[in-house]
């Protein structure tokens, strides 16, 4: 027996994202997501679900399959809503969203240019940032730890994105997945000389571990970490290069404290239709 669902597929910096329009009370998100993400289905790196917002100020609620927060999925939903409202060329549209993984409303700004959309998102501010040296797999690693309400990102500065480095990052993510109790673990490999990042995202609930081609939340965390790491805690504006393209991050500080973080990138709508889920 098959269930029919309506979906839209997006490409925010090639971080292929599916959003499912929920027309019923079905809440089996993990099962739907695992099928739609698979190679022999619609195929993507992540799946979110569009629900009705509880807060009257928000245009919609984004529920990720693993209950995590996702910056790129917020971008995708904001772009979809703006396009459905007939956003004109060159005009900025502000959209507020509710999202899983955070209690705060997410403020998005969407602009259309030809057939492309650009979105700026005000991201959650980390609850805590710290730097530690840990012993792992026979090596000492200097890591940055960026903690949020329901997820954690780890920044590891590296000289190259070798297979050995990636394998070690993946095993660390899986270990953290069973020890820290977070809904999402991100390992952000960063080459400071070139400004390149390779983001690994692990969502334990849906057993998804992916080297993403572009990560919005990871971009925000890296920007927050770099601003925090600066001894003067100065404002930071940086372009982070990732396999799928570039994303911009802006972190502002006041009296040594992070006060806001925003990311900006391009989003394409690449497909829309119906998918069939085996139940």
Domains of the chain by residue range: 2-121+267-278, 128-264
By CB neighbour count within 10 A (0-12 exposed, 13-18 middle, 19+ buried), where does 103 fall?
Answer: exposed
User: Tell me: the pLDDT tens digits for 99-116?
Assistant: 998 999 999 999 998 878
Cβ–Cβ < 8 Å for 75, 54: no
219 membership: H or E segment, kind and range: helix 216-229
Cβ–Cβ < 8 Å for 206, 34: yes
User: Tell me: the pLDDT tens digits for 169-180?
Assistant: 999 999 998 888
CATH architecture of structural domain 2-121+267-278: Roll (3.10)
User: Tell me: the pLDDT tens digits for 29-39?
Assistant: 888 999 999 99
Q: How far apart are CA 146 and CA 93, in angstroms?
A: 30
Q: Do domains 2-121+267-278 and 128-264 have the same CATH topology?
A: yes
pLDDT for 27? 61
Q: What's 128-264's CATH class?
A: alpha beta
The arithmetic mean of pLDDT across residues 143-167, rounded, is 94
User: Tell me: the pLDDT tens digits for 214-248?
Assistant: 999 999 999 999 999 886 667 899 999 999 999 99
Nearest CA to 12 among 210, 185, 266, 257?
A: 266
Dihedral, CA of residue 117, residue 104, residue 130 and residue 120, to nearest 10: 10
Residue 24: pLDDT band with limits 50, 70, 90:
low
Whether the pTM exceeds 0.85: the reply is yes
pLDDT for 265? 96
């Amino acid at each position: 027996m098959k269930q029919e669902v309506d979906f839209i597929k997006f490409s925010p910096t090639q971080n292929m994202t599916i959003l499912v329009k929920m027309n019923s009370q079905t809440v089996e998100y993990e099962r739907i997501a695992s099928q739609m993400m698979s190679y022999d289905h619609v195929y993507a790196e992540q799946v979110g679900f569009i629900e009705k917002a509880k807060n009257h100020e928000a245009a919609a609620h984004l529920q990720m399959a693993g209950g995590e927060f996702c910056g790129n999925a917020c971008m995708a939903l904001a772009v979809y809503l703006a396009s459905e409202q007939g956003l004109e060329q060159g005009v900025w549209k502000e959209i507020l969203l509710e999202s899983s993984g955070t209690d705060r409303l997410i403020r998005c700004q969407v602009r259309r240019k030809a057939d492309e959309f650009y979105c700026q998102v005000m991201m959650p501010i980390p609850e805590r940032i710290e730097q530690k040296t840990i012993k792992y797999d026979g090596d000492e690693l200097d890591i940055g730890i960026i903690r949020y309400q329901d997820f954690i990102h780890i920044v590891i500065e590296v000289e190259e994105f070798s297979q050995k480095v990636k394998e070690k990052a993946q095993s660390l993510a899986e270990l953290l997945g069973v020890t820290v109790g977070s809904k999402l673990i991100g390992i952000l490999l960063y080459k400071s000389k070139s400004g390149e990042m390779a983001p690994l995202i692990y969502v334990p609930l849906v057993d998804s571990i992916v080297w993403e081609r572009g990560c919005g939340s990871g971009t925000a965390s890296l920007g927050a970490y770099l601003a925090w790491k600066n001894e003067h805690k100065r404002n930071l504006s940086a372009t982070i290069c990732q396999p799928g393209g570039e994303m911009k991050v802006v972190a502002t500080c006041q009296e040594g404290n992070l006060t806001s973080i925003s990311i900006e990138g391009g989003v394409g709508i690449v497909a829309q239709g119906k998918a069939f889920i085996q139940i």
